[in-house]
């Protein structure tokens, strides 16, 4: 549970960064792009003694990891487009509910953690409650649009191909998490290889991110800001550690994504909600409160076997 708890903690630190960026006028896109080189340096510092990083494109896992890193950037861009055209609520729900994809693959395709037979009635009930809890706890009403022209434009944007954007977010997030689980199951046989694989993923994100930033700068859409480099450091270190700890958590639980991903998602939501209420005085709606209560119940139902092992 230690690695899973640390992954949740570092993931919430990421959210706090994004919340504070506007206050300090940090360019979020630039901070995200530059955070991946920071991730890479962080990973190099965490390499086990005697190991050095090298990339071998003759290995299948290298291409998978590199491509997954590119997928991180593409998913981010897709989320941004969906947020702008379909709203925060639809995008946030699509993102969080995407956990059902790696969970289903873990249960019915990879059959990790004992497969379907490893889940009892309480676990399945907890899984269903986790999905409901994620939906309710992340639901936010869209702020009213004051300008009538903006309201008409917003309504028009939600027709046509734009409606596919949240679907794309759902599929991309689900696919990347599923691929992470797959790679952890088949290509990371021991914890000492975890940093190597993670560094390769990050390298893919570095190449894709810097390429996109260069194109935007060439088009005159981006001007580099010093604050972005500072934001990249505060973002990059917890970003790498959250992902690294998630891989270690998957390894610790035999790549059982059906167990790890629901606990990870609702753990992040619970901790983020607590910190937001304490430090930012955020108000929770009735739906949010019900969702958080269901999340606590879902954690107990999903992890009762693990809790029993430690005598809880």
3-state SS of the chain is CHHHHHHHHHHHHHHHHHHHCCCCCCCHHHHHHHHHHHHHHHHHHCCCCCCCCCCCCCCHHHHHHHHHHHHHHHHHHHHHHHHHHHCHHHHHHHHHHCCHHHHHHHHHHHCCCCHHHHCCHHHHHHHHHHHHHHHHHCCCCCCCCCCHHHHHHHHHHCCHHHHHHHHHHHHHHHHHHHHHHHHHHHCCCCHHHHHHHHHHHHHHHHHHHHHHHHHHHHCCCCCCCHHHHHHHHHHHHHHHHHHHHHHHHHHHCCCCHHHHHHHHHHHHHHHHHHHHHHHCCCCCCHHHHHHHHHHHHHHHHHCHHHHHHCCC
Res 161: pLDDT? 63
Res 84: pLDDT? 63
Angle among Cα 4, 34, 97 to the nearest 5 degrees reads: 40
Distance CA 306, CA 303 (A): 5
Q: Which residues of 146-180 are buried (b: 16+ CB within 10 A; e: fewer)?
A: eeeeeeeeeeeeeeeeeeebbebbbbbbbbbbbbb
Crossing angle of helices 28-45 and 226-252, in 10° steps, is 50
pLDDT tens for the chain, 312 residues long, are: 899 999 999 988 888 888 888 888 888 889 889 999 999 999 999 888 878 888 888 888 889 889 998 998 888 778 867 766 776 666 767 777 788 888 888 877 887 654 455 677 887 888 888 888 888 877 766 666 556 555 555 555 555 567 778 888 889 988 998 998 888 788 775 566 788 888 999 999 999 999 988 998 888 888 888 899 999 999 999 999 998 999 899 888 877 887 888 888 888 888 888 888 888 787 778 888 888 888 888 888 877 766 566 444
Report the predicted TM-score, pTM, of the whole model to 2 decimal places.
0.80
Distance CA 161, CA 63 (A): 31
Q: Looking at the 3D structure of the chain, how many domains does it have?
A: 1
Query: Can you give the C-alpha Rg of the chain in angstroms?
Result: 20
The overall longest dimension of the chain from CA atoms, in Å, is: 64
Q: What are phi and psi of 21, to 5 degrees?
A: -55, -50
Distance CA 236, CA 244 (A): 12
- What is the span of the domain harbouring residue 31? 2-309
Res 312: pLDDT? 45
C-beta separation of 56 from 185 below 8 A: no
CA 36 to chain CA centroid, Å, is 15
Distance CA 144, CA 12 (A): 28
Res 203: pLDDT? 92
């Amino acid at each position: 549970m230690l690695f899973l708890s640390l992954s949740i903690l570092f993931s919430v630190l990421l959210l706090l960064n994004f919340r504070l960026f506007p206050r300090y006028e940090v360019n979020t896109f630039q901070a995200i792009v530059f955070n991946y080189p920071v991730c890479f340096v962080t990973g190099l510092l965490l390499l086990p003694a005697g190991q050095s990083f090298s990339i071998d494109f003759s290995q299948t896992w290298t291409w998978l990891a590199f491509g997954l890193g590119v997928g991180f950037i593409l998913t981010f861009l897709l989320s941004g487009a969906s947020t702008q055209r379909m709203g925060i609520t639809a995008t946030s729900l699509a993102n969080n509910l995407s956990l059902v994809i790696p969970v289903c693959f873990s249960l019915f395709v990879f059959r990790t953690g004992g497969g379907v037979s490893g889940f009892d009635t309480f676990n399945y009930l907890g899984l269903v409650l986790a999905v409901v809890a994620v939906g309710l706890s992340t639901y936010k009403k869209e702020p009213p649009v004051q300008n009538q022209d903006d309201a008409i434009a917003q309504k028009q944007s939600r027709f046509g191909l734009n409606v596919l954007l949240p679907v794309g977010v759902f599929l991309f997030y689900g696919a990347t998490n599923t691929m992470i689980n797959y790679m952890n199951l088949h290509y990371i046989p021991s914890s000492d290889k975890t940093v190597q694989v993670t560094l390769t993923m990050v390298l893919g994100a570095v190449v894709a991110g810097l390429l996109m930033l260069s194109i935007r700068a060439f088009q005159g859409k981006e001007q580099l800001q010093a604050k972005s480099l500072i934001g990249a450091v505060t973002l990059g270190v917890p970003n790498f550690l959250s992902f690294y700890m998630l891989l270690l958590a998957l390894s610790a639980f035999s790549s059982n994504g059906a167990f790890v991903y629901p606990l990870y998602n609702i753990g992040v939501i619970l901790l983020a909600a607590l910190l937001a209420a304490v430090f930012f005085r955020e108000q929770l709606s009735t739906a949010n409160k019900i969702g958080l209560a269901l999340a606590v119940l879902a954690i107990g139902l999903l992890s009762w076997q693990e809790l029993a092992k430690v005598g809880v």
